[in-house]
Amino acid sequence: MFLSIDAGNSNVVFAFYDEQQQRWTHEYRISSQGGFSLAKLEKEMHLYMLEHRIGRDTLTAIGFSSVVPERIEPLEDFCRRFFGRSPYLIQGSSYAGLPVKTTKPDEIGTDLMCNAVAAYARFLGPCIIVDFGTALTFTVVGPEGQIMGVNILPGLKTAIRALFTDTAKLPEVALELPTSAIGKDTVHSIQAGVLYGYTSLVKGMLQTIQEELGYRCSIVATGGLSSILHPLAGSFDLTDRYLTLEGIRLITLAQPKKNKAPTFPRTQSAVPAPGNPNRRFGSGPFAAKRGQSFRAQTPGKSPTWPSRSHIN
């Protein structure tokens, strides 16, 4: 079993990858907000692993990404105490030897870098990763796997919470898409405003980015809130809630062992390579048509890059 730990601003996710089955088999989440007690985490993880029959001795390695600096040390301690091994912490220096590059490796969130690595491993071409987390982010990966940029704005829950916190009369509402886009009472007005508003925002942002690039990208959605905006389903080539966790795994496995040249882990191909007429394309004005050559727009693949990792 490989364990990926993703500490985001709302949740810490622990996900177990079964190397024999080549898939994520278990996922355990705790809230990242407020403090958390290591003793409580140890107790709960112990019960979770007992219940799901995951032996601590089956663990081969741990990869760890945190975009919350104060979570790093406690979770490293937890891994050492509970699993008896140190996790590999993803940081700026982790990206040397990877096809996905950034000009500011110490600034970009490691979760976004993991998303980029996992998405590029699947599509081997330009992609935009939309992460519906505490923040809503768009990570733009170019044809050669370089990070071209990131757009960051408040996530859906964050936007709703900000309205509630910063106004006298607006309540905190459930994240439910109403049937009508025209609000008829205060709760409905906020839901229509935020959920239909964000739907249009995501569509518009994807269009604007691809117009600026001048070519079509594969669009991947991830994050806890990636399935809330139903009308966006057709805009994504893939929705994968394990994307960050998969990136953590790929980056960790790509790290050079002592006295060994860096190699990127090879995993089984499950999605046809770009240019394959059977691959799925998204909708919208930039959607490539079935059979249209994608390779012409996306030259220069890295020969060392795996074609795709296997999830689900």
Ligand X SMILES: Nc1ncnc2c1ncn2[C@@H]1O[C@H](COP(=O)(O)OP(=O)(O)O)[C@@H](O)[C@H]1O
Binding mask 81-120 for ligand PAZ (x = CB under 6 A): --------------------------xxx-xx--------
Straight-line distance from the first to the last Cα atom of the chain, in angstroms, rounded to the nearest whole number: 15
CB of 10 to ligand PAZ, least distance (A): 6
Residue 107 interacts with, from K ion, ligand PAZ, ligand X, none (CB under 5-8 Å by kind): ligand PAZ
Q: Does 115 interact with ligand X (rule: CB under 6 A)?
A: no
Site residues (CB under 6 A) for ligand PAZ, limited to 205-224: none
Take residue 182 and report the two structure tokens written for it: 């025209």
Distances 201 to 130, 135, 163, 196, 233 between C-alpha atoms, Å: 12, 14, 18, 8, 14
Distance CA 139, CA 102 (A): 11
Contact 295, 122 (CB under 8 A): no
77 is catalytic: no
Instruction: State which residue, 213 or 228, has the beta carbon closest to ligand X.
Output: 228
- Among the options 77, 111, 166, 237, which is catalytic? 111
Q: Does 9 interact with ligand PAZ (rule: CB under 6 A)?
A: yes
8-16, 39-47, 188-196, 280-288 -> range binding ligand X (CB under 6 A): 8-16
CB of 117 to ligand PAZ, least distance (A): 14
**Closest residue by Cα to residue 261 from 88, 96, 62, 59:** 96
Residue 109 interacts with, from ligand X, K ion, ligand PAZ, none (CB under 5-8 Å by kind): ligand PAZ
Contact 160, 175 (CB under 8 A): yes
Distance CA 280, CA 6 (A): 28
Q: Does 240 interact with K ion (rule: CB under 5 A)?
A: no
Measured at the CA of 229, the angle between CA 226 and CA 231, to 5 degrees, comes to 125
**Per the annotation, does 130 bind a ligand?**
no
Site residues (CB under 6 A) for ligand X, limited to 211-230: 223-225
Q: Does 140 interact with ligand PAZ (rule: CB under 6 A)?
A: no
Phi-psi region of 214 (alpha: psi -120 to 50; beta: other; left: phi over 0): left
Instruction: State which residue, 128 or 190, has the beta carbon closest to K ion.
Output: 128
Instruction: State which residue, 54 or 67, has the beta carbon closest to ligand PAZ.
Output: 67
128-136, 155-163, 231-239, 265-273 -> range binding K ion (CB under 5 A): 128-136
Take residue 18 and report the two structure tokens written for it: 């079964």
Q: Does 137 interact with ligand PAZ (rule: CB under 6 A)?
A: yes
Instruction: State which residue, 13 or 124, has the beta carbon closest to ligand X.
Output: 13
Q: Does 8 interact with K ion (rule: CB under 5 A)?
A: yes
Q: Does 133 interact with ligand X (rule: CB under 6 A)?
A: yes
**Residues engaged in binding ligand X (CB under 6 A):** 8-11, 32, 133-134, 157, 223-225
* Positions at the binding site: 6-13, 109-112, 131, 134, 186
Could you list the active site residues?
111
Residues lying near K ion in the complex (CB under 5 A) are found at: 8, 111, 133
